[in-house]
Amino acid sequence: MLWSNWIECPMNETTITFSVNNVTRTVAVSEDALLLEILRDDLKLTGTKEGCGNGECGACTVLIDGQPVASCIYPAKAIHGRSVETIEGLGGQNRLHPLQSWFLKLGAIQCGFCTPGLLMTCKSFLDRNPNPTPEDVKEAITGNLCRCTGYTKIVKAVLSAAAELRGETPDAPQDPPGCPPVGRSLIRVDGLPKVLGTAKFAADISRADMLHAAMVVSPYPHARILSIDPGAALAMSGVHSVITGHDIPGEILYGVNVRDQPFLAREVVRYAGEPVAIVVAETRRLARLAVKEVQVTYQELPAVFDPRVAMSPDAVKVHDNGNVLLYRKMRKGNIDKGFAEADVVVERSFTTQSVDHAYIEPEAALAYWDGDMLVVECCSQGPHYLRHEIARMLKSPISRIRVIQATTGAGFGGKIDLLLQHFVALGTYLTGRPVKMVWSREESLRTSTKRHAFYLQYTFGATGDGRLTAAKAEIIGNTGAYASFGPAVLTRSATMALGPYDCPNVWVDSYAVYTNTPIAGAMRGFGAPQMSPCHEPLMDEIGRKCGLSAVEVRRINMVRPGSSTVTQQVLETGVGALETLERVSSYLPSREMEG
Amino acid sequence: MRWQNYHVMSSVPELLESLGQLDGRGRVVAGGTDLIVRLKETDMPSQPLTLLDVTRIDAMRGIKHIGDEIHIGAATSISEISTSRLVGLRARALAQGAGWLGSPQIRTVATIGGNVVNALPAADTSVPLVALGAHARIVSARGERTLPVEDLFRSVGESVIDPTREVVTYFIIKTDAAPCGASAMTRMAKRKAFTLPVLSVAVRIELDIPGDRFRAVRIVAAPVAPVPWRAKRAEEAISGREISIRSIREAAALASEDAKPGSSLRGGAAYRKDMVAVLVRRALLDALEQLDRVPHE
């Protein structure tokens, strides 16, 4: 539908009256508004969060007439005459609801983004079921995703709150008097605002006269940009500007390991979801609508998706200087001698998949001028790096750029890159006005970095009594369209190829390879977790062939003081592998359980 | 825009009048947990609809016990159905299905009418409703009619009901007649909660008076066809047979043989086909257990 048609059927405004936290409110709403928009944008009750926009994650949970509801898909007009409870009404600083105080005391909060929704769901649940079992609590919170805590502490906190509400005195964590702070159960310093819903995540921050930005992204994995025509978008009333890579005043490429990634693609796009233009408009919805009106003409190019294919010399080139971004060799001892000494040889190939961090807070950032200082408030795991890149892009002294980390709704490595902070910085630099960008869940999944998918080939040799003599590993990591942390991740994979095991003869080849897939970057464990599903089953297999239990074969081979690693670092102190093994095996009820 | 207008209806006549005036541009909405998500994604549709909210029409809400029937208003929430003692005792398969649907947040607002008219073959209330032989009362400007729920499905996501012209007002379910009648639903999914099924099976059984033979059995599996699918050959084969592991096995095998599932992200066709037998057997055993019957070999 053309924009002009849209104008012909103007949106009706109407008023609704409903109760919010026991206060009657009358609000003018557009006919197609959703409850979450009314709460956050009109009533400025930003304690309720948007995590997915599809009613799937539970971050937007509020209570309607006492029942939990996903406010992100609840039409505002349906709320007329009803009663809504939000996190802001649950408790105050000096009168915390027992759920809030037990979430604090038991550490059931980490990033805090899912916390308001969880608290509201649990409040409704305890109102109906004052005496729940742990299974009841787990069932009650199935609609609230948390990526940080692993839920165990949340379930404990809900059970403790239920006990307190019944008039009992639940056990609180007890620390021996006078013990040092290390190892004690402390209430986290940012806990209180998180249980109150007053912690400000980037999407919760607003400035007067603020504009909103949205991305135009490539639908193709590999294409040449022939033209970008912003005409139809700019013709829309309320659209301020359409920014392309040609508007960037300074450097055009960035990257933490290798500067290979355009701040905004100008000539070529290398993955589906790569940003090519930024629309700046008066509202977030208008910016998103205008995105559909920006006409980008592409010439599709052949693409490569499998890093093993991309390594061959005649493969499609993702970057001009070839697809092998990193080739890391690790050699220790003499691998041929090691296999010659082996009585047992085990060999396997493995693949691991790409993984999204899926933090519940989608990426968000806001930029504005403070005098001659350009300020960016954003979710981030690395504001100093962002500051440096934004200064390069704007050709500005770094002293004129300030990056403030807002409360960040988890990252797991995914928020360490420059993601959208440069888009709002550029928007403010070019328009002079505050500019905010908040990604949708779909945009976050499509454009953000991922865990590397790996292809691995492993061969271990061992003596008949189970001692490793040789370890050979070839590691191919799909680093996607741009380097991000790829070289560092694949280097770490090489150094961690044997996990906690000691072997005198090691041969490791590790490659980070470009393909036309989403960028692989930093994620928890940073290249080491992909190694575990390889070295562990091989250790089991050696154990089985040598008649050793899973514990015994590991006891023989684990690193200890005096062992040397793949990089030939001799370990001296602080080597905890064996102690860990002994402690874990003490929990195994029988030798059969040792495998 | 997502939709042109949103009106909360207070009665069925008011709804029919509005649908008539809007002449195809109005659409019934209940909980909206599927529809609102779709309209939100395709902001600025070519034909903006006016949404007519039926969740406050009293005649379309609530669960009533009338003789040997249960009447459930189409705008009754899934959570009300899943926690209803009456439904749990007398139409147990439906209470089980409702309990699996979505999350607590979704069950608060989603309705049984919306779930059925949305017409996905493995919808958690459609599968048990078809097994229970439920009927739907439908009202339009032309009058009222009653159709078996089984006949409401045309294809994946395509209902016989036209939500721009008519509305399901309530469902009629014959109660599980103890001591001889019982129903059960089994479901297999990749997670325990808040996920769509790899496969669902619902059954209703009726035993003869001494209680050692199956008198009538309905078996429904999904998604194995574009609509909730009845394993009719299996139903016929087991009806009249003695209650035994053997008769149950044979019926389960026939259901599996006749089922023609497709492959999706949630499960492969061959796997689903095999699992039809497993789930039919489990559902029949579960239903028998409700009647304290343990089948012999």
Contact yes or no for A300/A220 (Cβ under 8 A) = yes
Q: Is the Cβ pair A77, B53 closer than 8 Å?
A: yes
Distance CA A556, CA A465 (A): 9
Cα(first)–Cα(last) distance of chain A, in Å? Answer: 64
How far is B238 from B216, CA to CA, in rounded Å?
A: 8
* Interchain proximity A142–B194, CB inside 8 Å: yes
In a mutational test of the A interface, the residue from B55, B103, B191 whose CB has the highest number of chain A CBs within 10 Å is B103
Chain A residues 296-315 with a CB less than 8 Å from chain B: none
3-state secondary structure chain B: CCCCEEEECCCHHHHHHHHHHHCCCEEEECCCCCHHHHHHHCCCCCCCCEEEECCCCHHHCCEEEECCEEEEECCCEHHHHHCCHHHHHHCHHHHHHHHHCCCHHHHHHCEHHHHHHCCCCCCCCHHHHHHCCCEEEEEECCEEEEEEHHHHEEECCEECCCCCCEEEEEEEEECCCCCCEEEEEEEECCCCCCCCCCEEEEEEEEECCCCCEEEEEEEEEECCCCCCEECHHHHHHHCCCECEHHHHHHHHHHHHHHCCCCCECCECHHHHHHHHHHHHHHHHHHHHHHCCCCCEC
Across the interface, whether the CB atoms of A32 and B103 are under 8 A apart is answered no
Give the closest of A9, A139, A289 to B48, CB-based: A9
What is the mean predicted confidence (pLDDT) over A233-262?
97
Instruction: Output the pLDDT for position A11.
Output: 60
CA of A516: how far to CAs of A276, A353, A378, in Å? Answer: 16, 16, 28
pLDDT at A5: 39
pLDDT given for residue A1 in this prediction: 35
Beta A13-20 vs A83-85: how paired, if at all? parallel
Q: What local confidence, expressed as pLDDT, does residue A8 receive? A: 38
Give the pLDDT confidence score for residue A588 in this predicted structure: 83
Residues A441, A52: contact at Cβ < 8 Å?
yes
**Secondary structure of A462-481 in the HEC alphabet?**
ECCCCCEEEEEEEEEEEEEC
Digit-coded pLDDT (tens) for A496-529: 999 999 999 999 999 999 999 999 999 999 999 9
Q: If contacts are CB pairs under 8 Å, which of residues 82-141 in chain A contact chain B?
A: 121, 125, 139-140
pLDDT in tens, B74-87: 999 999 999 999 99
10-residue mean pLDDT profile of chain B (297 residues): values are 95 98 97 95 83 98 97 98 97 98 98 98 98 98 97 97 98 89 96 92 95 95 97 97 96 98 94 98 97 89
Kind of pairing, strands B158-159 and A275-281? Answer: unpaired
Identify all chain B residues contacting A143, using CB atoms and an 8 Å cutoff.
Answer: 102-106, 194
Question: A114-142, pLDDT tens digit by residue?
Answer: 999 999 999 999 999 999 999 999 999 99
**Is A10 touching B (CB cutoff 8 A)?**
no
Å between B215 CA and nearest CA of chain A: 37
Candidate from A73, A144, A285 with C-beta closest to B37: A73
The 10s digit of each residue's pLDDT in A137-189 is: 999 999 999 999 999 999 999 999 999 999 999 888 777 677 777 777 788 99
pLDDT band at A592 (very low <50, low <70, confident <90, very high): low
List pLDDT tens digits, range B144-161.
999 999 999 999 999 999
The three-point CA angle A252-A258-A261 to 5° equals: 35
Chain B contacts to A (CB-CB under 8 A): 1-8, 29, 32-33, 36-37, 40, 43-46, 48, 51, 53, 55, 79, 102-106, 108-109, 192-194
For residue range B77-136, list pLDDT tens digits in order.
999 999 999 999 999 999 999 999 999 999 999 999 999 999 999 999 999 999 999 999
pLDDT tens digits for A54-90?
999 999 999 999 999 999 999 999 999 999 999 999 9
Going by pLDDT thresholds of 50, 70 and 90, the confidence category of residue A2 is very low
- Mean pLDDT across chain B: 96
Total Cβ atoms within 10 A of residue B140: 15
Instruction: Please name which of A461, A576, A538, A542 lies closest in space to residue A507, comparing C-alpha atoms.
Output: A461
pTM score: 0.94
Give B88 to chain A, closest Cα distance, Å. Answer: 18
Rg (CA), chain B: 19
Which residues 6+ apart lie within 8 Å of B259 measured at CB? Answer: B221, B224, B225, B229, B231, B272, B273, B276
